Every structure is written in C-alpha cells, then in structure tokens.
Chain A
C-alpha cells in the first residue's frame, strides 16, 4: 500500500527579484510502514517537500496523495482535519506549547479530536512511559531538556495513532546521545506500530538509521537508495 505519492511537484519562491525553485518536478512514492530520510544541504527542498506532504504548504503544480486524500486539492479546514487525524509532526525546535505541561502537550491533539478526559490522560501517560518521561508529566517545556522536549513531541505525534509521522530536522538541536535516543525511538515505533516515518535531515547520525535514503539538491531528487547495515538491526530487517 502506498502511504504517499507525489507526482511532478513544483514549487517556486521569490526572494527579491530572484526566483528559487523549492521543488522541481519531484516524483516520489512511499510505502506504508516505511522509514524514509530526505537528506540534502540547506535549501535543497527537503523541508518544502515535507511541508507539501503534510498539507502545511501547497505546491504550485503537481499532485500529492496521502492515503486516499488529494492533499493539493483540500481547503484549509480539511487540511487541518487531515493533519489532526492522520499525520503526526515533529519539528526541529519550538515543538511544544509553552503554557502546557508535558502531559497536556501530548493530550492537546486528542483534546482537539474530542476524546474524553480519562482516555486522553491514560493514553498520554502511556506515551510518556513509552518515551521514558513518565515522571515528567507536570513539567512545562521550559523545565525539560531539548532531548526531553523532542521526546514529548514524538509522544504527541504518535499518541493519536497517525498513519504517517513527518519529522523536520528533529535532531538538529540535540547532542549525540539525545539524537541517537530519539532516532532509535523513531525506529522502534516504526517497527512496532507500523507507522510510516518521513524524516528531513542532514544529520548523518540519523541517515545511518534510514533503510531508504532520498537525496535532494536544488529542489530535485538526485538519488533514492535503500541502505543496509542499520545499527542494531540485522540486514534483513532493513526496509
């Protein structure tokens, strides 16, 4: 089953009089349960592609199919609903709402979805345990380290059982130990829950964990390859 299919995506930005091609005829297909990295230097188009897949930004032309939804044809509210119910996001920084505690941040999405309070709390606590932060439930983001904040963000991204998680430079602000911990958490959730992960990164530590690595440059895909030798996994486990 295809989780995402992008066909001939184009997107340009203007910076003063200069026209920048964010996406240049990008075609890509990602299977359900995949663990994919988009890599490339700054300005290569990986974040633009990720935003287009998540319905955060619209391409100038081309088609995006997420599950059975034509993302490029949805209105603002429908896009918001799709993100709410089907996609989990993890960003580079500023991932959490500062006035909500760790548990409340995880509950946030479920609260918008309208789940009952008891169920929200139970699921949020279970997720906190899963990401190793059960004893940090009442802490505000400012009281958590960068790695802890990202783990809370991951917990929030997957708590409502999305089919797809989009992560944009999730390890950019983390030290090596925290980065490895986070990417291993991603892999674990990918394996155990079958959630599709698409990660935009130029962090080689993250790329090493990706069975499928797509390289981009100047808005174009320049390579799309499968990797073996994923740390901690036998070669056969790589997808």
Chain B
C-alpha cells in the first residue's frame, strides 16, 4: 500500500513538471480546453434557457404543472365532464408547499359573437386571484381591467380576438355554450378587458369570465372543469405530483405537465440530447489537439522514458504517468473553464435581448428575451465528457509510451 502511495507521488511530481517543460505548448492546449469547456457550458445554458422559456410558455398556456380532471375530460372537454371543487385532503395539499398556486376553473368550448362576427373560443370561468397565483399577469390586460372576483359579470378577451370580432372595450358580446343537459346556454356579456399574450393563438382562443358567472350560465353549481396546480420548479414536479394524485383519488385523472403536453416533454429531452451532442462535438475537436500535444510530449521524452524503464519503472507506471499529465491538464482546463463560464453566464441570467433575431421564435413559444440557465448538471456533464473523452484520447500516446523497448528508447537520438 505504501509503495503505491509513494509511487503515485513521484508520478504526480513527474507529470506536473513535465507538463510545464514546454509551457507554451501546454499553455495553448490549456487555453483550448478552457475555451472548449466554457463553450460547452455556455451553449448548454443558452439552450437550456431557450427550452425553459418554451416550457414555461407552454405551462402558462396549459396552465399549471399538474392538472386534475374528470377522466373523460381530455377526450371530451365538455361541461358534462366536470368535477367537484377541491375539498378535504386535496384542498389541504393545495394550500401547502411545494404548491405555490392553484386554480379551480371551468374550461369549456364556446362560441362568441359580436355584432359583426363570431368565433369559436375556449371559455374560462376563473377566480382571478387564483389565476394570478397561477401566473396570469394583470399587466397583460392592455385595455380595461382584469376580472375582480369569481362573480364578476364582465368578460376579458384577447387583443387578436377583439380585432377579429371587430369589437372593443365596453361593448357587449354573446357567449354561447352547452349546459350538462345539452341545452344551449347563452348570455350577453360586456367586454371589460382586453389582454395581450405572448402567443397570438392564446389571444384568439382564451376568453376569461368569472367562475361563478360561468357556473351559473352553464348550470354547474359549484363544479369545475379542472384544477390547475403549479409549484416552485417545473423540473421538480416529479417529486410531488403523485401525492396530489393520491389525494384527488382514483375517480379523477391527475397528470403532470410532461403527460399533459408531450411536445413540452420532448423539448426537454431534446435539450438534454442537444447538450450532450454539443459537448461531445466540441471535445472531439479538442481531443485532436490533446492527443497531438501528448504525442509530441512523449516523442520528445523517448530516451527519458527508456531511462525510467531501465531503472525499474514498470510499463504500467509509464502509462499512468502520461495519463496523469493529461488528467492534470484536463482538470486545470475544467476548473478555469467552469469559473469562466460562471463569470460569463451569471451576469446574463437577468436576460439577453434577442429581439433583433427573435422574429419567428414566438411560434416556438419564446419571447424576445433569452434567459441563460446555468445548471449544476451542465457543469457535471461537461466535466464527465472532458474527463472521460480526454482520458480515452490520451490512452493511445500513453499506451505507446509504455510499450517502448528500453534499449531502443535509450538509443533514440
């Protein structure tokens, strides 16, 4: 055991000093690794920021990270498939951590008519306070006001829908849907607010009315279409949605956002794949430089390697020494690259204005500001890629060095 420890110390000494014999070459390789690591983490943070933004946008539209429905509601989102408002154990869970907001809402297909046109929409009967806790921003109401309570008799529609209906604030429109008995339920209602949304489709589709008003219109009593729930971090939903499911009971369908919207989940998976691909591609390019550096370093030291073998150093120790040189270089590059990435990304986490190149990004659910997201996972992933691929690339020169014949190596001029 002592022999191993002491041998490792001489290997470390030799590796460190050999590394700096040609400080210019080592320095250039170190800079290349630093830039590579920095680029890996930066790209990951940017992609992560873009995808997070898309997912958050999607969650705002869903809305919520978890939804509770009648089991048939997703196939037939009609008023017939309504559920009771939350109570008992479920209500208790909704009012404690990690839940940060929830809304019991009615969401049914409806027809809206102005004096000029009509459109099919999604009528949302909401409690405005709950919607705000779920992410609705009253500042998005660009004309008029948002609803003031569940029994508000007004209607808030999207900017685009207002254009299509050729209606405006304070005008009356007619909302028409079906009650549970399949009878037409309709009423005239005044537009009290016009909101803007990140997506034009949202402005066209969603109209907000007071929950009690809609319940009364549709004859629902206190029943609702869905309970939408949100927490601190959409990535952490896997840790708590099952408790909500248990509290909701087997007669209701409780689903997390990944199952509610397969597209959003595929975006997340795509992000992970992109990150790995980018890291591997960057490091593959780097590894050529690394191998070249080590091959040169070994080639310059053939006689020295022969001498060490002649003195009794086993071939395996020669290989470890070369690998150790590579590892030191990689670890130095990782430390500096990670620090550089931290120093670069943290100041950008408040957002980068990409409006100049943002045309079309709205379609993907993104805004004109990109929020790079630095995650420990990115740093660990880049570390794993650099160390594993770096050592694999170093195996060739290390193995070659360990195979030298001492006599031939010593005779090399």
Contacts and interface: CB of A to CB of B under 8 A. Distances in A.
A89 B10 contact: no
B10 A108 contact: yes
A80 B407 contact: no
B376 interface: no
A172 to B, nearest CB: 14
A97 B308 contact: yes
B315 A113 contact: no
A98 B304 contact: yes
A88 to B, nearest CB: 9
A222 interface: no
Contact of A113 (B3, B9, B17, B405): B3
Contacts of A83: 310-312
B20 to A, nearest CB: 9
Contact of B312 (A57, A80, A100, A117): A80
A234 interface: no
Interface string B275-311: 0000000000000000000000000000110011111
Contacts of B312: 80-85, 109, 112
A54 B307 CA distance: 13
A124 to B, nearest CB: 13
Contacts of B310: 54, 56, 83, 89, 91
A115 interface: yes
A137 to B, nearest CB: 16
B317 A112 contact: yes
A56 B3 CA distance: 23
B6 A91 contact: no
A111 B7 contact: yes
Interface residues of A, number: 31
Contacts of A80: 309, 312-315
A45 to B, nearest CB: 13
Contacts of B4: 114
Interface string B383-396: 00000000000000
Nearest to B412: A94
B327 to A, nearest CB: 18
B217 interface: no
Interface in A72-107: 76-77, 80-85, 89, 91, 94-95, 97-100, 104
A51 interface: yes
A51 B2 CA distance: 31
Contacts of B14: 97, 99-100
Contact of B2 (A77, A112, A116): A116
B407 A57 contact: yes
A80 B304 CA distance: 15
Contacts of B9: 111
B17 A56 contact: no
Shortest Cβ-Cβ A-B pairs, 8 listed = A84-B312, A114-B3, A99-B17, A111-B10, A83-B312, A80-B314, A57-B407, A56-B406
Given A80-B313, A97-B307, A99-B21, 12 more contacts: A56-B310, A56-B406, A56-B410, A76-B315, A77-B316, A80-B309, A81-B312, A83-B311, A109-B311, A111-B9, A112-B10, A114-B2
